[in-house]
């Protein structure tokens, strides 16, 4: 009986190892648009929030009342017409973060935090701002700005990024990884026209979240 129990646990252990290494850490082939006017999704699964900055930072917004310090930090340098987009990932989604367009990393900030459930939306999505995160600020050749925030939660082991300050990234690059179940949030400045909608399902490198506005 003891050997049978041991064998079952050993089998489960090896199945978990195989799942992690050959499924969770996969990088599927994608149909990348190779168009730097298009902001493609850096992550997989489902959008749980699309919030304009003036609404996000409203004093009437319960999220801002509870998380004003983090929200102010994430939106620093962005004008009031910026937009927050949050994407939730499950263990069955590829967890590498992909470069959305040609840009350069200009700032990075890591903050330890809690590890709450990051799947909640609406007024209950405080975990987005309270959990451990790594914030990456980019600028495009036109000097447009966007931020990608890697957010961990209670199943996450750690956050990894593969890029350095002043490094240029292209739309086909991989920029980071959150190891096991997590969320990626994005802040786009006023120069982007938002296409993404709440509850849209997205595919990294393929789904278009926004596009650069045409300037006259």
What is the CATH number for 41?
2.70.70
Q: Is 123 helix (H, G, I), strand (E, B) or coil?
A: helix
User: Would the pTM of this model clear 0.85, i.e. be above it?
Assistant: yes
Tokens representing 18 are 């195989």
* CA of residue 202 relative to chain centroid, distance: 12
125 in any annotated domain:
yes
The token duo for 146 is 């966007």
Range of the domain at 44: 31-212
If DSSP codes are grouped into helix, strand and coil, which group holds residue 159? strand
Q: Does residue 1 fall inside a structural domain?
A: no
Residue 17 within a domain: no
Q: How many domains does the chain have?
A: 1
**Would you write out the chain's pLDDT as a tens digit for each of its 216 residues?**
777 777 777 777 777 666 566 666 778 889 999 999 999 999 999 999 999 999 999 989 999 999 999 999 999 999 889 999 999 988 778 879 999 999 999 999 999 887 776 666 777 788 889 998 999 999 999 999 999 999 987 665 578 999 999 999 999 999 999 876 689 999 999 999 999 999 999 999 999 999 999 865
Question: What is the per-residue DSSP string for 45-109?
Answer: EEEEEEEEHHHHT-TT-HHHHHHHHHHHHHTTT--TT-EEEEEEE-TTS--EEE--SSEEEEEEE
The pLDDT of residue 175: 97
């Amino acid at each position: 009986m003891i050997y049978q129990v041991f064998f079952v646990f050993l089998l489960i252990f090896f199945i978990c190892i195989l799942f992690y290494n050959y499924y969770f850490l996969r990088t599927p082939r994608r149909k990348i648009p190779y168009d730097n006017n298009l902001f493609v999704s850096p992550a997989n699964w489902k959008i749980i929030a699309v919030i304009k900055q003036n609404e996000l930072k409203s004093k009437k917004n319960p999220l801002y009342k509870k998380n004003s310090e983090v929200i102010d930090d994430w939106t620093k340098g962005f004008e009031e017409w910026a937009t927050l987009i949050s994407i939730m990932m499950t263990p069955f989604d590829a967890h590498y973060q992909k470069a959305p367009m040609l840009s350069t990393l200009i700032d990075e900030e890591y903050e330890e935090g809690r590890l709450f459930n990051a799947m909640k939306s609406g007024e209950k999505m405080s975990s987005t701002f309270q959990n451990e995160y790594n914030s990456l600020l980019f600028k495009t050749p036109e000097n447009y700005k966007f931020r990608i925030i890697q957010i961990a939660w209670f199943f996450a082991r750690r956050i990894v990024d593969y890029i350095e300050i002043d490094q240029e990234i292209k739309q086909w690059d991989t920029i980071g990884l959150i190891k096991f179940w997590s969320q990626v949030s994005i802040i786009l400045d006023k120069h982007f026209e938002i296409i993404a909608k709440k509850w849209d399902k997205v595919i990294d490198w393929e789904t278009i979240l926004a596009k650069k506005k045409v300037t006259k």
